Amino acid sequence: MFELPSFDGHETVKWVFDPETGLRAIIAVHSTVRGPGLGGCRVWNYAHSSEALVDALRLSQGMSMKSAMADLPFGGGKAVILGPIPEARRAAQFQAFGRAVAALDGHYVTAEDVGAAVADMEHVSRQTDFVTGLPSQAGAVGGNPAPFTARGVLRGIEVVALRVLDRSDLDGVRVAVQGTGSVGGLLSEMLAERGAKLILADIDMARSADLARRLDAQVAETDEVLTADVDILAPCALGAVITEDLVPEIRAKAIAGAANNQLATPMVGARLAESGITFAPDYVINAGGLVAVAAEYTGVEDLDTVLADVDAIGPRLDTLLAQATEDGTAPDRLADRLAREKILAERARI
Ligand code: NAI
């Protein structure tokens, strides 16, 4: 593990096996320098536990960067549960996961990610207080972070449309969305409301087809959507989808989506920049959900304050893209540098 490029100085990596429930999980805490490592719990059917480890490490490191760029008093952590979880054991496995989170004594705070829902976090909360994204009243702070994430991504897409397409609205702007789950589905609805022309794809074809019918959008195959003839590509499924080989095939002028770790390797960001494709660094544009769960966890009650913080993603991305252009740097590289500087400054201060 220590030799893996994705290890990147993680503070703690905890392997969890619970013989009673069959839970197999990995909790990775990248950094607690700025505060507790906050990040969701992903449930996925990994082919091998080494794949799950790399996913946990990459996601957890990304959370440190995301919190730092959003100026939140949190570090980075993430958990993965190795699926499938038998339905009859779901509640018990999430409670066992909650006990594992509790044992980290506040170094890690969990929430939802792909494959985990608000109801799962309720099970976790029976065992530990180090959990957020819990049910909330309509119109109150808290609950499923996906609507906040989608709103932040929309703000980012608006910025990108202005910078790259010289468009101050999204009417007629062509956007391809890969992954029409919690975030991608809501984002598609918001984009359609603003008149964007959508191409949607999901491995769950019934899901994308249903949404496409409702939004009068086109459907594409999951492997074709990334190279569709559109203005903006919004990856909203899983990570590592933008590879070096794919870059010459991409027809979009910009990539701005919710998925974590969209670039397969750090080199891909440079290739995109060389090809004139503007990349909105994922952990900058998709921080809306984190802003919301952080607010819930720290007891912020005013929804307007949280929404204003989510909307701040737009100007933050705009400043980043402007500076990257000025410096002749790829935006993802600049974001990495700025985030690491913030973490180092905090380490020097404490
Ligand atoms: P989700 O599980 O609700 O949706 C993911 C969707 O992607 C599913 O419909 C799935 O069928 C589809 N999918 C998986 N592989 C695919 C492929 N190769 N091609 C097309 N579709 C595929 O997950 P959610 O919550 O919408 O998250 C999506 C992405 O956004 C993930 O990368 C997640 O880490 C990231 N994210 C989510 C946040 C949230 O608030 N939920 C916050 C920040 C990032």
State which ligand 1 atom lies nearest to the alpha carbon of 292: 40
Tens-digit pLDDT profile for residues 21-33: 999 999 999 999 9
- Catalytic residue status for 78: yes
Residue 225 in contact with ligand 1 by CB distance below 6 A: no
| Structure confidence at residue 9 (pLDDT) | 96
Measure the CA–CA gap between 322 and 316, rounded to whole angstroms. 10
Q: What is the pLDDT of residues 246-296, one digit of tens each?
A: 999 999 999 999 999 999 999 999 999 999 999 999 999 999 999 999 999
Measured CA to CA, the distance from residue 94 to residue 74 in angstroms comes to 23
Give the length of the chain: 350
CA of 121 to the centre of ligand 1 (A): 18
Could you tell me the pTM of the whole model? Answer: 0.96
202 lines ligand 1 (CB under 6 A): yes
Q: How far is CA 327 from CA 320, 323, 334, in A?
A: 10, 6, 9
Average pLDDT in the 221-228 region? Answer: 95
Cα gap 5→2, rounded to integer Å: 8
pLDDT digits (tens, 9 = 90+) for 86-97: 999 999 999 999
Sign of CA dihedral 145, 178, 280, 7: positive
Q: Exposed, middle or buried: residue 341 (CB in 10 Å: 0-12, 13-18, 19+)?
A: exposed
- Mean pLDDT rounded to a whole number for the chain: 97
Residue 138 has pLDDT above 80, yes or no: no
Which is catalytic among the residues 14, 66, 78, 197? 78
Ligand 1 centroid distance, CA of 101 (Å): 23
Instruction: Return the residue matching tokens 């603003």.
Output: 194
Q: Is 253 in the pocket of ligand 1 (CB under 6 A)?
A: no
- Is the Cβ–Cβ distance between 277 and 248 less than 8 Å? no
Q: Residue 136 — very low, low, confident or very high, per pLDDT cuts 50/70/90?
A: confident
